[in-house]
Amino acid sequence: MRSPQPDDEEMIHLRRHMFNPDNALRSEATQRLYACYAVAYTVVDVLAAFLFIVGSILFFRESTTTTGTWLFLIGSILFGVRPCISLVREWHLLRIRDYDDLAAEA
């Protein structure tokens, strides 16, 4: 069974509204939501950088190379999480917009 595909109108809606900088400024709720995602993004960013630095230092000694390798791997995964946070944030803001639009029409 094929999964349902978005129609042209839905795709136009997504293109017009996702990653629009104005989405975060629409209301107090969206500003708060955007700020929460910004904090999560920053924490992941700092943690990934920290793990890379510590992993680099651990590479100087042969006895800690394995630990350094694991820290590099975890840091790499965290760098992959960063764009996922942005995507989830935009999806969340888009869903709020849809609910706001529906409420305005009622």
Backbone angles phi, psi at 77, to 5 degrees: -60, -40
CB within 8 Å of 30: residues ≥ 6 apart: 23, 24, 93, 96
The model's pTM = 0.68
Distances in Å between the Cα of 102 and the Cα atoms of 9, 20, 96 are 16, 19, 10
CB within 8 Å of 72: residues ≥ 6 apart: 51, 52, 55
Q: CA 23, 15, 8: angle at the middle one, nearest 5?
A: 135
Predicted confidence at residue 75, as pLDDT, reads: 95
CB within 8 Å of 81: residues ≥ 6 apart: 44
The token pair that represents 7 in the structure block: 């129609």
The gap from C-alpha 91 to its chain's centroid, in whole angstroms, comes to: 10
Predicted confidence at residue 12, as pLDDT, reads: 60
Predicted confidence at residue 90, as pLDDT, reads: 86
Predicted confidence at residue 96, as pLDDT, reads: 79
Predicted confidence at residue 6, as pLDDT, reads: 60
Query: From the first residue on, what is the mean pLDDT of each consecutive set of 10 residues in the chain (106 residues)?
Result: 60 62 74 91 97 95 96 96 92 75 54
